[in-house]
Amino acid sequence: MKPYPIPRGSSPLLSRVDTTDPVVFITIDDGLVRDPRVAQLLADHGATATLFLNSGPIRLDPGYFVPFLWIGGSINTHTSHHPHLRGLDFNAQRKEICAVVQQIDKVYGGNGGYFRPPYGEWDRTTLAAAASCGVRAVLLWKETMADGQIRTQGSKPIQPGDIVLLHFRTDLYDNLTALFAQLDLQGLSVARLEDYLPAA
C-alpha cells in the first residue's frame, strides 16, 4: 500500500489558552459512562464542555451527547479505539483520528474540529496526522479531576486559561460539583473553549 503523503502543516498543540479573562475550560473524555444529570448540571452553572469521544460510545448511544451540543459544547475525536499513538506510523494514526471525525460528521452533522490524543501521548506524526484529518488544534490539559480532587501540573493552583480534563466516569457529576465550588472560591468561571481556539 502506498503511504499517505505527510502534509507540511501540523495541528498546533495546546494545554491552556493565553488569556487574562478569569475563565477556565472543561473538557470531558471517552464517553463510557453516561450520567443523564451531567449536561443539566453544566447548564445550571451556565457552563459548557468540549467532548472528546471514542467511536464506541457514539455508536452505542448517540443521543446522550446531543444535550451537550444544545448548551454550546462540541463533539471531537479521541480516536476510534483509544490506542497509544506515539510510535505508530502516519497511516495508523490518521485512521484512528479521521474515523471518528467522519463518524461525528455523519451522526451530528459536523464535528468540533479538535483532537485529544489518548493518555496525552503524541509525537510529530500525531500532529501531522491530525492536521490531515482537518483538526485545527490538538488539546492536552493543565488539570485533571478525579475522586473529587483537582490535580494540577506543577505547584500552581488552577489558573485563568487552563484546560481541565474530566472523564465520563461514575464520579463525573461529583467531580463537576467539586470543580464548580473551587472555581467559585477563586473567582473563576467556565467559558466555551471553542470561542478561544483557532478558527477554521
Q: Tens of pLDDT along 129-139?
A: 999 999 999 99
Question: Model-level pTM?
Answer: 0.93
Give the Å distances, CA to CA, from 78 to 69, 111, 128, 140, 150. 17, 12, 15, 11, 22
CATH number belonging to domain 13-196: 3.20.20.370
Give the Å distances, CA to CA, from 93 to 13, 22, 67, 118, 126. 16, 36, 30, 11, 6
* All structural domains of the chain with their residue ranges: 13-196
Residue 1: pLDDT band with limits 50, 70, 90: very low
pLDDT tens digits along 168-195: 999 999 999 999 999 999 999 999 999 9
CA dihedral 156, 158, 161, 163 (to 10 degrees): 110
- pLDDT tops 50 at residue 124: yes
